[in-house]
Structure 1
Amino acid sequence: MNQPHVAILDDEPEIRQMLAQALGDAGFRTSCFARATEFEAALKHATPDVCLVDLGLPDRDGLALVHRLALESGATIIIISGRAQVQDRVTGLELGADDYIIKPFEPAEVVARIRARLRRPASFAGSASAETARFNGWTAHFDRYILTRSDGAEIPFSHAEGEVLRLFLESPKRLITRTQMQDSLGGAAGESFDRAMDVRISRLRTKLGEDPRNPRLIKTIYGAGYIFLGDVTWH
């Protein structure tokens, strides 16, 4: 089995060394970067499974980098930051991060969060081996993070949006509660998780051409959760 690859982007050498040691002991491959320019250059050759990104970078705005990674890379993105305000966490998640870990942290916590992100829960893993789903004139390519419309137009989606979309496509025409979403997708329950889900679902609706006032595919059941009403086939 291939070892999952984790890229660590942090300008503090002690943090990089601590994380690389803990992740190596846990069976992960790691690459460490002190600057965003080095990190971005490496991404041109290979995309890691997980990116750990510090927001306080010397040569890039960390949040802007997280947003671009979410749109382009397909990797799981976990922010590691000393910014502990709720609004900082909400902003990071809204821009596409999958999780947010506040410094100082225990290395074991980071390892556990990464494992949770890479592990698909059994209750939603019925189609885990399939990478393409067709529904209502759309095709979702989870290996390329692309939605293909019936006219052939291609629309990219982020890893975070893909997690939500896959959750819906694996359980069509069934109520998915907020609790089920939190259990499946990980992250701490609360305002920041709810806001992040609202943003991801809103973006998916926009990409699917949904009327936000009367969506046909992703229905909100107020006080309960969501139902995906499409007819889905996996390939």
Structure 2
Amino acid sequence: MTRKILIVDDDQKTRVLLKTYLEKNQYEVILSHNGESFVAEFNSQMNQLSLVILDVMLPDTDGFALCKVVRQKSNIPIIMLTASSDDTDRIVGLELGADDYIAKPYNPRELLARIKAILRRTAIADVAAAPRYYRFLGFTLDLTERKVTDNTGELVALTGLDYQLLKYFVEHPGDVLDRNVLSEETRGRDAGPLDRSLDVQISRLRLLLKDDSKQPTLIKTVRGAGYVFSADVSVVSA
């Protein structure tokens, strides 16, 4: 099955080159040149899309606003493109629910690798012999439908990256998990010493699970070692 990707970038040369490169690698690509055209394409193609790529700087809006639009309607994976040399754009994007980011200028091969990694991580696995549900502190993680509900049955709005991180935590309760391990499992790469994206994602997940960020009891920080998921987790096959 051909994966369909929607890309918004205001630079025509970049759009065309990226479309050509990705199509050579068996992806179907839809292009938008501004926020208005992106929203129109997203609304019409949402159920067929596998991933969206958002440039931060656009003539009529920015990638952050578009990220919010996407997250209001879908958990589809999002990659942000940023020309900023500092971490601000990256952190804001992750806080809004982006799954990954890449700095401009970038090598198309690196972007392709990021796309493949995200789609591989978010693909629905064959769970016939695996547990379907993980339950902890009133929450239920459903691996088949890739969703989380709280003790009232209300859906917790997780992005694909949130889901991958939580899934790894509940599969390893009580284990001290190294930052690089968590980054590799969720983003396909090690966390650099100055990379705050994992910390941002942990903070976001704590907020979604109503875990006090100042004194967390669910996802605890182990100074100098990583993080530990401290809840009792039960497993149900079906």
Q: TM-score, normalised by structure 1?
A: 0.83
Name the stretch that deviates more: 159-168 or 210-219: 210-219
**Judging changes above 3 Å, is the alpha-carbon distance between structure 1 residues 214 and 85 closer, same or farther for their aligned structure 2 residues?**
closer
Q: Distance in 2 between matches of 1:230 and 1:29?
A: 43
Q: Which runs of 4+ in 1 moved over 4 A?
A: 141-146
Aligned residue number for residue 222 of structure 1: 223
**Judging changes above 3 Å, is the alpha-carbon distance between structure 1 residues 138 and 26 closer, same or farther for their aligned structure 2 residues?**
same
Cα distance, 1:135 vs structure 2: 1.1
Aligned residue number for residue 159 of structure 2: 158
Cα distance, 1:132 vs structure 2: 5.1
**Judging changes above 3 Å, is the alpha-carbon distance between structure 1 residues 44 and 141 closer, same or farther for their aligned structure 2 residues?**
farther
Deviations 1:171-211 (A, max 9, x none): 23322210101222225623664x22222222222222323
Cα distance, 1:8 vs structure 2: 0.9
Aligned residue number for residue 53 of structure 2: 52
Q: Letter of the aligned partner of 1:133 in structure 2?
A: Y
**Judging changes above 3 Å, is the alpha-carbon distance between structure 1 residues 220 and 173 closer, same or farther for their aligned structure 2 residues?**
same
Q: Distance in 2 between matches of 1:63 and 1:202?
A: 19
Q: Distance in 2 between matches of 1:62 and 1:224?
A: 34
Identify which of 120, 126, 130 aligns with 1:129. Answer: 126
Q: Secondary structure at the match of 1:44?
A: helix
What pairs with 1:131-150 in structure 2 (closer than 5 Å)?
Answer: 133-136=133-136, 137-141=138-142, 146-150=147-151
Question: Is 1:116 paired with 2:117?
Answer: yes
Q: How much is the aligned-residue C-alpha RMSD, in angstroms?
A: 2.8
The answer to whether the Cα contact below 8 Å between 2:6 and 2:42 also exists between their aligned partners in 1 is no
The answer to whether the Cα contact below 8 Å between 1:145 and 1:158 also exists between their aligned partners in 2 is no
Aligned residue number for residue 13 of structure 1: 12
Structure 2: gaps of 5 or more residues = none
The answer to whether the Cα contact below 8 Å between 1:7 and 1:30 also exists between their aligned partners in 2 is yes
Cα distance, 1:163 vs structure 2: 2.2
Cα distance, 1:112 vs structure 2: 1.4
**Judging changes above 3 Å, is the alpha-carbon distance between structure 1 residues 197 and 68 closer, same or farther for their aligned structure 2 residues?**
farther
The count of aligned residue pairs is 229
Name the stretch that deviates more: 30-39 or 134-143: 134-143
Name the stretch that deviates more: 18-27 or 101-110: 101-110
Kindly, what percent of the aligned residue pairs are identical?
A: 33
Cα distance, 1:142 vs structure 2: 5.9
The answer to whether the Cα contact below 8 Å between 2:77 and 2:159 also exists between their aligned partners in 1 is no
**Judging changes above 3 Å, is the alpha-carbon distance between structure 1 residues 173 and 16 closer, same or farther for their aligned structure 2 residues?**
same
The answer to whether the Cα contact below 8 Å between 1:172 and 1:232 also exists between their aligned partners in 2 is no
The answer to whether the Cα contact below 8 Å between 2:161 and 2:186 also exists between their aligned partners in 1 is no
What pairs with 1:44-83 in structure 2 (closer than 5 Å)?
Answer: 44-45=43-44, 46-47=46-47, 48-70=49-71, 72-83=73-84
The answer to whether the Cα contact below 8 Å between 2:8 and 2:31 also exists between their aligned partners in 1 is yes
Q: Secondary structure at the match of 1:83?
A: coil
Q: Distance in 1 between matches of 2:110 and 2:82?
A: 14
